[in-house]
Structure 1
Amino acid sequence: VISFLITDTLEQEIARNPIGFNTFVGSNINSSGAWNLDDSKVLIGLMEKYGKKPQDIHDELFKMALDRLKKQSFQNINLLINKHRVMWMTDNDILIYIKAGLDGENPSRIDFPWNYRRFNIICNLYYHAMLIFCAIGSFMVLKQLLSGKLKNTSEYFIIFLFIIISGIIAIHMIVEVAGRYHYPAVSLFALVAGYCLCLAGAGIRWPWSRIRGTG
């Protein structure tokens, strides 16, 4: 229905299942599943072949992706590992975009190029700390789920978030990856990590709690 409405509004056919190109790029072991010029040239060639038939283009690219994955055989294991590295290892893409958009004639008050390395460390340190707490929080809730000891809606909500995060990870094992593509999951990581910290805080007897008579 949505595809029909968009096609009718734009008066131009659009793809009903536009997964071909993303899957084709995601299967490229040489680029670790990231965007690359060679695959884009293949896309342009198919656009010239099929004209204004976008779904045919995606269907053809999807078949090519399957053929590529079959030919790569066990090398697909390395592909998956490299895709996870591209997707989840760092969280500093925003710094690259800021650096590219700097105005040399009107620099900001902060010397961004000089502080770039420092910002890079801060971004990745915060990101990895969040991932660690997210993993711990997920493990704690899953452990309670398996033992049948889930007690409140908050824990079920964390399970729901965990399912969404797992889905995002699973999807990008197939389609194209880029460092910035993990941004939608960052807020979910933060929620699960925050839950973990709340659990830890509830179980710790802080020194000042004794002074206030709450310990």
Structure 2
Amino acid sequence: RTRPSRATSAKEMTSFTVASILEKTTNRDKDFRYMATSDLLAELSKETFKPDSDGERKICKCVLKLLNDQSSDVQGLAVKCLSPLVRKVHEQQVEEIMVQLVTQVLTGKEEQRDICSIGLKTVVLEMPQAMAVTAVRQLAPKLVSGVAKDTLEVKLESMDILNDLLKRFGGHLKEEESDACLTALFKELGSARAAGRQRAPA
């Protein structure tokens, strides 16, 4: 009878641990959810932690849900989870995270918009350079549309995130994408709204 390797046993143990943690994040008691989210952050921060594809999907879904938790403390921990998470999971999962977050920034309620904006900035700043093309393709057009919104808060958040995106990944923009970003930003620079002018990148 072949004994399982130590690596296999460790991976199975990690999967079991994560499954247990994810289950606890759904507890009705916010203190339990906070502790579970803290445990999840600790697991994600381990260099040896590498979830399988199914585990990736479940963790990403869980973290996105926790960003909308009723407890601001739980939300804050969920944002911290994004930093190690986007460096551990595959590109497809990072894409889905970005799409959901930018959608909340553009169309969500104020409290959702605030936390998802912080989350999206975290993703943009922490994701690997190898995902640059994905980031630009997914985010730039949506953020440009956000800059053109009538709602000032949406406009400002979109400009802020677009600024971060251009700083990190601007070199990966196609000419037409670059033109669209610059046109949107220069239009705001010429706007009479002082707040908008102050937040627009130079």
Same fold (TM over 0.5): no
- Structure number with higher helix proportion: 2
Q: Select the structure with the greater relative contact order (CA < 8 A; seq sep ≥ 6).
A: 1
Report the TM-score when normalising by structure 2.
Answer: 0.25
Structure label with greater radius of gyration: 1
